[in-house]
Chain A
Amino acid sequence: MLDLAISGGTVVTGGSAVRADLGIAGGRIALIAAPGALPTDTAETVDATGRVVVPGGIDAHVHFNIKVTEAMSAQSAVDGSRAAAFGGTTTFIDFALQSGEGSPVDAIQAKIDELDAQRPNVDYALHLMLTGDLSFEAMDEIPEAIAGGVSSFKMFTTFAAGSASGHLLSDDGRIWGVMERAQRARGMVQVHCEDDCIIDYHVRGLYREGRAAAPNIHLARPPLAEEAAIRRMILLSRRSGCPLYVVHVSSIPGVRAIAEARRDGVAVSGEVLHNYLAFTSEHYGREDGMIFHNYPPLKSAADRDALWAAIADGHLDTVASDDFTIPKAAKLSGPMVDNAPGGHNGIETRMDVLYSEGVTTGRLSIERYVQVSAENPARLFGIYPQKGAIAIGSDADVVLIDPSARATIRLSDLHSACDYSVWDGWELNGRVTTTILRGEVLVRDGEWVGERGIGRFVSAGAPGVPV
């Protein structure tokens, strides 16, 4: 007997959208059947008539619980994962944080303990952030981290000691050391690519000219800074053979650098954030415009359009949120180009905005939507096909989208612990209505109906290749 049936919908499975019913047993997809062919003995049925049925979203870039300062404390995994479920995301990938002399393996265990104690509402996997003047001893723990189910390592080319974000920057030698070790142990490295020296020059120049107010932050961190760092990281990836994932690509030169390297056979992939697909640096000039800011800063309309083209044509691979949700007052607390807080309150809106602005407008096929929102993050971070696919044996993480829904996002309707949203007032054409995690209906027609706190750690295997 099936635990749950999802019938009458159009299902994106195996690379195409087909009319099919789904059967779920034991939390996994047990049956994919032509309409009407499902058996009748089912405990529960979700009517998906008129709905598009896609794999639950995977947000590969979120920061929960992290405390940069007392004021800049990110929302908890409980709040963030509740928002995730309402927005059609069934797996988030957060970051364990190694810093100073700390042990990476201990940092991972501490993060798992913290998240499990909070009981998140959706499943999660982890990356490990390696920061600052990382020691050889810390690097040598990489194989053990991978054996423990964390196979991707995040590093920074920016935020030197004393920055508002803390000391995150590691020099190229250390990044090389991590790549060498990750490559040997079948892991991968992801990098925040902005060149700190180029940024420092521009920041000092803006101060000198008296133009260092935060709304000029895109001038302080120009596309050149992104391109320079991406090209350096590509060189390290090429020479080490370690797969490279460039987080939050924001500029035309960045896209181009990645595309060129891929043509040469370098295993580099790239991520876009959905706020970069919607906003430009002109938003900084608005009242409280710095709520739109994230690192790297927003660029021009031409850059935004190029990012759309890149996810549509396969030059970039994933869409993530970089959720780092802090109170509005904290978000607006940095008045200058060198202390404006970053972060994006975005985990709940990612699937909806991408559907509405991507699929409804015709920029993305529904198949591509599934690839960039779920399948590719799962493949790249080693949790495919348990996650990221509607296929026999996969976890029954399923989301229903109503393509005909017309709605306006209101801050009061969102579920993060937050007093602002850059998405407040955004019009949606098509939106997520129902979210199912391992066969448990969490959200049905926009209402929470499921059990709370059933999210669990998903162990990552070797990184794969995006489609």
Chain B
Amino acid sequence: MEAAPFDIVIERGTVVTDGSSRDAAVAIRGGRIEALVDPGEATQLAAARRIDASGRLVMPGGVDPHCHVGIAVGAYTTLDDYASASLAALAGGTTTIVDFAIPATQGGDPLAALDERLALAAQSRCDYAQHGCITSAGIDVAATVRALAERGLRTIKLFTTYRGILMVETDTIEAVMTALRDVGGLAYVHAEANDLVEAAQREADAAGRIDAGGHAGTRPEDAEERAVADVLAAAERTGAPVYFVHQSTPGAIELVTRARRRGVAAFTESCPHYLTLDDGRYRGEHPERYVCCPPLRSRATVDALADRAVQGLVHAVGSDNCCYDTRQKTERADDVREMPNGLPGVETRLPIVFNRFVASGRMAPERFVAMVSTNPARLNGLYPRKGTISAGADADIAILDPRETRTVVIDNLHMPTDYTPYEGQSVTGWPTTVISGGVVVVDEGRLLDPGPVGRFVPASPIEADAVPSEE
């Protein structure tokens, strides 16, 4: 083929995308995927750079649908910024992160919050999108949703918990859902019933178990499932789609599955930690390091949740990245109501999920790619620019070695913190070469900072049947 040379040709790998795996070469030029090519033809392609992906999976770069960057909640602010968070994302095979533009105070202006986020994101090394966030009924919901959509935001985060900071009532959720429905949008809901959480916290406090070691007891599974049921009812009333962030119990997933059978466009996200780590961590040496909301659950719950993922009932896996360090986590470990919630994880999302499901033989790599890339892209209105290896898509690619085994050590990671919940674990399946926007940013394990080249990716309308039925 005598046409102008390509920038990069990835050869001899197995391309895993959109539900199938093929032996094919991928040709990249000008930041885009220009062609998929039969292996027999690929040798004729002229290219400035050839990458031999023998024995490796060539997958669309990860899309992290749930990644907090430099977030301030209460007295604590996470330690990363767009430069460090996006570099860590790239190191872990994620080439698009979706952050949240959360107003600084309850009832604050979502558009002002977006302006602040976008200013910070100018330092991003990878492409990014934003979720809007509405924390009060005291604004013109419909106008706000339309204004956000015009600026390329079609997903809005809503909280049923954190009273006085973020929480909204069901009527506000319905108003937002209705407005989103009309712009091809999707509500992203943190569902934990606040009254049950507060009651459990009061009880724990009285029993002297409000410290990090008692965390699991302060946010019971019932609280999550009741809120999920309430929000699903709202979705059913309004005819709007709904996405649940970080579902942590099989019961919550069952509610979503049943609603889908009734025709509700409902989607489940879970996180690597809910699929792998259990509440035994709260009985260990450093319980505070594992404090997140919802909390880690019992081993039986974790394994049942993982079974649901194997059955195809978990549509997306987000990191819920919150990059605190051990000093921040320790300061108020005496009271979970005061300490910072959340775990660092944008960098480890792909390997932890691959190790748990694909390396163990329980899940096909196609399903893994759907959970960590394609479905998040679809459910954020970023597909098919993101989340697929197809002609014309952005050249965001992770080349993952399914046999590479590493012990997770914080010193080898890039997140600006001093710990990882997975420290010391042996994990199989790592992205060894990563391409973002047509540029090699991880070259056989070596991270190369491309500079602040990340672009804001506006969301297109999201199809209610964006993710195929698991039936």
Q: Verify if A389 is at the interface (C-beta below 8 Å from B).
A: yes
Return the CB mask of A287-304 against B: 1 if under 8 Å, else 0.
Answer: 000000000000000000
Q: Verify if B259 is at the interface (C-beta below 8 Å from A).
A: no
State how many angstroms separate the Cβ of A430 from the closest Cβ of chain B.
21
State how many angstroms separate the Cβ of B148 from the closest Cβ of chain A.
25
Q: Which residues of B contact A35 (CB under 8 A)?
A: 392
Q: Verify if A28 is at the interface (C-beta below 8 Å from B).
A: yes
Given A14-B18, A34-B34, A393-B38, check contact A40 B2 (CB 8 Å). Answer: yes
- Expressed in whole angstroms, the Cα–Cα distance for A34 and B267 within the complex equals 32
Q: Verify if A335 is at the interface (C-beta below 8 Å from B).
A: no
| Chain B, range 32-56, C-beta contacts under 8 Å to A | 32-38, 40-41
Q: Verify if A145 is at the interface (C-beta below 8 Å from B).
A: no
Q: Which of B24, B33, B263, B390 has most chain A Cβ within 10 Å?
A: B390
Q: Verify if B19 is at the interface (C-beta below 8 Å from A).
A: yes
A-B contact pairs, 24 of them (CB 8 A): A14-B17, A14-B19, A14-B20, A14-B388, A18-B392, A18-B393, A19-B391, A20-B392, A26-B40, A31-B36, A31-B37, A34-B34, A34-B392, A37-B29, A39-B3, A41-B2, A263-B261, A313-B465, A313-B469, A314-B471, A385-B22, A389-B20, A391-B22, A393-B38
Given A32-B36, A38-B3, check contact A393 B22 (CB 8 Å). Answer: yes
Given A39-B2, A263-B471, check contact A34 B391 (CB 8 Å). Answer: yes
Q: Which residues of B contact A29 (CB under 8 A)?
A: 38
Q: Verify if A235 is at the interface (C-beta below 8 Å from B).
A: no
Contact A31 B18 (CB under 8 A): no
Q: Which residues of B contact A31 (CB under 8 A)?
A: 35-38, 41
Return the CB mask of B448-471 against A: 1 if under 8 Å, else 0.
Answer: 000000000000000101001101
Q: Which of A13, A16, A263 has most chain B Cβ within 10 Å?
A: A16
- Expressed in whole angstroms, the Cα–Cα distance for A39 and B17 within the complex equals 24
Q: Verify if A273 is at the interface (C-beta below 8 Å from B).
A: no
Residue of A nearest to B21 (CB): A385
Given A31-B35, A389-B20, check contact A16 B388 (CB 8 Å). Answer: yes
Contact A15 B18 (CB under 8 A): yes
| Chain A, range 1-57, C-beta contacts under 8 Å to B | 2, 11, 13-16, 18-21, 23, 25-26, 28-35, 37-41
| Chain A, range 300-343, C-beta contacts under 8 Å to B | 313-314
- Expressed in whole angstroms, the Cα–Cα distance for A323 and B355 within the complex equals 49
Q: Verify if A239 is at the interface (C-beta below 8 Å from B).
A: no
- Expressed in whole angstroms, the Cα–Cα distance for A137 and B24 within the complex equals 45
Residue in B22, B263, B388, B463 whose CB lies within 8 Å of A392:
B22
Q: Which residues of A contact B18 (CB under 8 A)?
A: 14-16
Q: Verify if A262 is at the interface (C-beta below 8 Å from B).
A: yes
Sort chain B's interface into a size bin: 35 or more
State how many angstroms separate the Cβ of A10 from the closest Cβ of chain B.
11
Q: Verify if B75 is at the interface (C-beta below 8 Å from A).
A: no
Contact A39 B32 (CB under 8 A): no
Residue of A nearest to B36 (CB): A32
- Expressed in whole angstroms, the Cα–Cα distance for A170 and B284 within the complex equals 64
Q: Which 6 A-B pairs have the closest CB atoms?
A: A39-B1, A14-B18, A33-B35, A30-B38, A392-B24, A20-B391
Contact A15 B19 (CB under 8 A): yes
Q: Which residues of B contact A385 (CB under 8 A)?
A: 20, 22
| Chain A, range 51-90, C-beta contacts under 8 Å to B | none
Q: Which residues of A contact B389 (CB under 8 A)?
A: 14
Contact A37 B35 (CB under 8 A): yes
**Other than the known A34-B391, A39-B3, A392-B24, what 14 A-B pairs have Cβ atoms closer than 8 Å?**
A14-B17, A16-B383, A23-B41, A31-B35, A32-B36, A33-B35, A33-B391, A34-B32, A41-B2, A263-B261, A314-B469, A391-B22, A392-B22, A393-B24
Q: Which residues of B contact A14 (CB under 8 A)?
A: 17-20, 388-390
Residue of B nearest to A39 (CB): B1
| Chain A, range 244-271, C-beta contacts under 8 Å to B | 262-263
Q: Which residues of A contact B34 (CB under 8 A)?
A: 33-34, 37
| Chain B, range 380-423, C-beta contacts under 8 Å to A | 383-384, 388-393
Q: Verify if A467 is at the interface (C-beta below 8 Å from B).
A: yes
Contact A37 B37 (CB under 8 A): no
Q: Which of A18, A25, A28 has most chain B Cβ within 10 Å?
A: A18
State how many angstroms separate the Cβ of B48 from the closest Cβ of chain A.
15
Return the CB mask of B10-22 against A: 1 if under 8 Å, else 0.
Answer: 0000010111101
Given A14-B17, A30-B41, A34-B32, check contact A19 B471 (CB 8 Å). Answer: no
Residue of A nearest to B390 (CB): A14
Q: Verify if B23 is at the interface (C-beta below 8 Å from A).
A: yes
Q: Which residues of A contact B261 (CB under 8 A)?
A: 263
Given A34-B391, A37-B34, A37-B35, check contact A16 B468 (CB 8 Å). Answer: no
Residue in B3, B38, B392 whose CB lies within 8 Å of A25:
B38
Residue of B nearest to A314 (CB): B469
| Chain A interface, number of residues (Cβ within 8 angstroms) | 37
State how many angstroms separate the Cβ of B250 from the closest Cβ of chain A.
15
Q: Which residues of B contact A30 (CB under 8 A)?
A: 37-38, 40-41
Residue of B nearest to A30 (CB): B38
Residue in B22, B24, B384 whose CB lies within 8 Å of A16:
B384
State how many angstroms separate the Cβ of A202 from the closest Cβ of chain B.
33
Q: Which of B17, B36, B261 has most chain A Cβ within 10 Å?
A: B36
- Expressed in whole angstroms, the Cα–Cα distance for A323 and B186 within the complex equals 44
Residue of B nearest to A384 (CB): B20
Contact A393 B23 (CB under 8 A): yes
Residue in B40, B393, B468 whose CB lies within 8 Å of A467:
B468
Q: Which residues of B contact A365 (CB under 8 A)?
A: 463
- Expressed in whole angstroms, the Cα–Cα distance for A396 and B465 within the complex equals 29
State how many angstroms separate the Cβ of A230 from the closest Cβ of chain B.
17
Contact A392 B391 (CB under 8 A): no
- Expressed in whole angstroms, the Cα–Cα distance for A20 and B36 within the complex equals 11
Residue of A nearest to B6 (CB): A37
Q: Which residues of A contact B393 (CB under 8 A)?
A: 18
- Expressed in whole angstroms, the Cα–Cα distance for A391 and B19 within the complex equals 12
Q: Which residues of A contact B32 (CB under 8 A)?
A: 34
State how many angstroms separate the Cβ of A362 from the closest Cβ of chain B.
13
State how many angstroms separate the Cβ of A107 from the closest Cβ of chain B.
33
Q: Which residues of A contact B17 (CB under 8 A)?
A: 14
Return the CB mask of A367-394 against B: 1 if under 8 Å, else 0.
Answer: 0000000000000000001000101110
| Chain B, range 407-452, C-beta contacts under 8 Å to A | none
Residue of B nearest to A467 (CB): B468
Contact B20 A391 (CB under 8 A): yes
Contact B471 A262 (CB under 8 A): yes
Q: Which residues of A contact B468 (CB under 8 A)?
A: 314, 467
Residue of A nearest to B17 (CB): A14
- Expressed in whole angstroms, the Cα–Cα distance for A301 and B119 within the complex equals 57
Residue in A32, A262, A263, A393 whose CB lies within 8 Å of B391:
A32
Residue of A nearest to B41 (CB): A30
Contact B40 A41 (CB under 8 A): no
Q: Which residues of A contact B36 (CB under 8 A)?
A: 31-33, 391-392
Return the CB mask of B365-392 against A: 1 if under 8 Å, else 0.
Answer: 0000000000000000001100011111
- Expressed in whole angstroms, the Cα–Cα distance for A425 and B413 within the complex equals 68
- Expressed in whole angstroms, the Cα–Cα distance for A32 and B35 within the complex equals 5
State how many angstroms separate the Cβ of B74 from the closest Cβ of chain A.
42
State how many angstroms separate the Cβ of B264 from the closest Cβ of chain A.
12
- Expressed in whole angstroms, the Cα–Cα distance for A39 and B3 within the complex equals 5
Residue of A nearest to B4 (CB): A37
State how many angstroms separate the Cβ of A255 from the closest Cβ of chain B.
13
Q: Which residues of B contact A392 (CB under 8 A)?
A: 15, 22-24, 36-38
- Expressed in whole angstroms, the Cα–Cα distance for A262 and B470 within the complex equals 10
Contact A18 B391 (CB under 8 A): yes
State how many angstroms separate the Cβ of B315 from the closest Cβ of chain A.
15
Residue of B nearest to A18 (CB): B392
- Expressed in whole angstroms, the Cα–Cα distance for A29 and B465 within the complex equals 29
- Expressed in whole angstroms, the Cα–Cα distance for A19 and B390 within the complex equals 10
Given A15-B19, A391-B20, check contact A28 B390 (CB 8 Å). Answer: no
Contact A28 B38 (CB under 8 A): yes
Contact B20 A19 (CB under 8 A): no
Q: Which of B35, B41, B391, B468 has most chain A Cβ within 10 Å?
A: B391
